[in-house]
């Protein structure tokens, strides 16, 4: 694979490799997404039809409204006490939080008790969020550390797929880390580096792997899952992690790039394409359990939304609208919940402090 599109970040990455040798996939992903000057989330407007991809809240307000209803149910069923810390990590354009707050506003008592926090690393997306959520008092953070104590209701939608992964390949000398280096033509190329996977990680993965298989691990994701779990354990409340990925650790290369709604090579368009990898929900649940939190699921996004009343709310939303609008609502429902669209690949994991059985994870 060669990097053919010249971008400002490509020159910086090539120079880094020339000076320091090949970089891990995690380093490469981190630079492409979060380089302060040229990183994808720092410079691009990635969402929507004009962007590179669309997320569930950008498809339909139904998604955020049902999440809002679930959070409201947690407030009531867990009898959460004032002040409630409502937190979203990786809020994108702020659309999900806006839809959640519209539902929470139906219970003015809950809204009055709620402090709203957005954890966002991109200054340009913070500006978009500020505009979208100007009706509310909101605090922005770089991480969870400085959010005040209090029962916490936390959501992270499509955050974890954007966090850096390391890739290891099983070779005849054991698991070796895959790295980004330069080929003979001085173009970017992926090869096998000298790094190895720790025997602890191999044992934890408990895999039947064969020669050539790839294993992905994301210490950055596990660290965020740990801090979410710590927070929920100490303060009570609940967290929902929604993303695409696999329920149990498995081998496979899921590192991918998207530009203008098309898959492109991960080495092209450095800093100008979205880079993601599938989320390992088992690893996130294990990291949370290690902090003493309880993990529920993951269950498919389709099952989650349908159990919360997706069809009923869609019917309500479409009532009295034109046939064109009703058709669009039907298409949105299908996209969010059908097994061959986002219904199965996308999953929902719930974290709680105690062994309660939150709906619909209890069925």
Ligand X SMILES: C[S@@+](CC[C@H](N)C(=O)[O-])C[C@H]1O[C@@H](n2cnc3c(N)ncnc32)[C@H](O)[C@@H]1O
Residues that bind ligand X (CB under 6 A): 41, 55, 57-58, 89-92, 96, 119-122, 125, 157-159, 162
Nearer to ligand X, 22 or 91 (CB): 91
Q: How far is the CB of 41 from ligand X (least distance, A)?
A: 4
Q: How far is the CB of 67 from ligand X (least distance, A)?
A: 10
Cα–Cα distances in angstroms (integers) from residue 324 to residues 46, 48, 338, in the given order: 27, 20, 20
Q: How far is the CB of 219 from ligand X (least distance, A)?
A: 12
Of 100, 88, 35, give the one whose Cα is nearest residue 64. 100
Nearer to ligand X, 157 or 352 (CB): 157
Nearer to ligand X, 158 or 268 (CB): 158
Q: Which long-range contacts (CB under 8 A, 24 or more apart) does 282-285 make?
A: 282/246, 282/247, 282/248, 282/249, 283/217, 283/218, 283/221, 283/222, 283/225, 283/249, 284/160, 284/221, 284/222, 284/225, 284/241, 284/349, 285/225, 285/349
Q: How far is the CB of 224 from ligand X (least distance, A)?
A: 7
Q: How far is the CB of 274 from ligand X (least distance, A)?
A: 7
Nearer to ligand X, 226 or 326 (CB): 226
Q: How far is the CB of 330 from ligand X (least distance, A)?
A: 22
Cα–Cα distances in angstroms (integers) from residue 89 to residues 108, 180, 212, 332, in the given order: 24, 29, 35, 24
Nearer to ligand X, 88 or 197 (CB): 88
Nearer to ligand X, 197 or 224 (CB): 224
Neighbours of 355 (CB within 10 A): 7
Judging by beta carbons within 10 Å of its beta carbon (0-12, 13-18, 19+), is residue 351 exposed, middle or buried?
buried
């Amino acid at each position: 694979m060669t990097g053919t599109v010249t971008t400002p970040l490509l020159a910086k990455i090539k120079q880094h490799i020339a000076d320091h040798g090949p970089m891990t996939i995690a380093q490469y992903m981190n630079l492409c997404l979060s380089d302060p000057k040229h990183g994808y989330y720092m410079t691009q407007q990635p969402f929507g039809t004009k962007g590179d991809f669309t997320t569930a809240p950008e498809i339909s307000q139904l998604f955020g409204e049902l999440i809002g209803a679930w959070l409201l149910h947690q407030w009531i069923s867990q009898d959460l006490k004032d002040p409630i810390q409502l937190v979203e990590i990786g809020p994108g354009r702020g659309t999900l939080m806006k839809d959640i707050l519209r539902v929470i506003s139906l219970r003015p008592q809950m809204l009055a008790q709620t402090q709203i926090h957005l954890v966002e690393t991109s200054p340009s997306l913070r500006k978009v969020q500020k505009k979208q959520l100007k009706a509310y008092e909101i605090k922005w953070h770089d991480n969870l550390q400085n959010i005040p104590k209090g029962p916490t209701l936390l959501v992270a939608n499509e955050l974890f797929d954007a966090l850096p992964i390391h890739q290891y390949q099983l070779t005849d000398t054991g698991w070796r880390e895959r790295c980004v280096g330069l080929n003979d033509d001085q173009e970017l190329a992926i090869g096998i580096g000298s790094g190895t996977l720790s025997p602890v990680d191999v044992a934890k993965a408990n895999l039947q792997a064969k020669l050539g298989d790839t294993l992905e691990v994301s210490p950055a994701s596990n660290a965020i899952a740990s801090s979410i779990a710590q927070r929920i354990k100490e303060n009570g409340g609940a967290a929902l992690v929604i993303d695409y990925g696999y329920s149990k650790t498995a081998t496979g290369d899921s590192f991918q790039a998207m530009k203008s709604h098309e898959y492109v090579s991960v080495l092209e368009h450095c800093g100008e394409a979205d880079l993601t990898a599938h989320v390992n929900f088992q690893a996130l649940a294990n990291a949370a359990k290690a902090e003493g939190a309880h993990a529920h699921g993951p269950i498919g996004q389709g099952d989650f939304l349908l159990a919360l009343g997706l069809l009923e709310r869609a019917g309500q939303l479409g009532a009295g609208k034109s046939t064109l609008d009703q058709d669009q609502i039907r298409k949105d429902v299908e996209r969010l919940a059908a097994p061959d669209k986002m219904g199965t690949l996308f999953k929902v994991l719930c974290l709680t402090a105690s062994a309660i059985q939150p709906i619909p994870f209890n069925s």
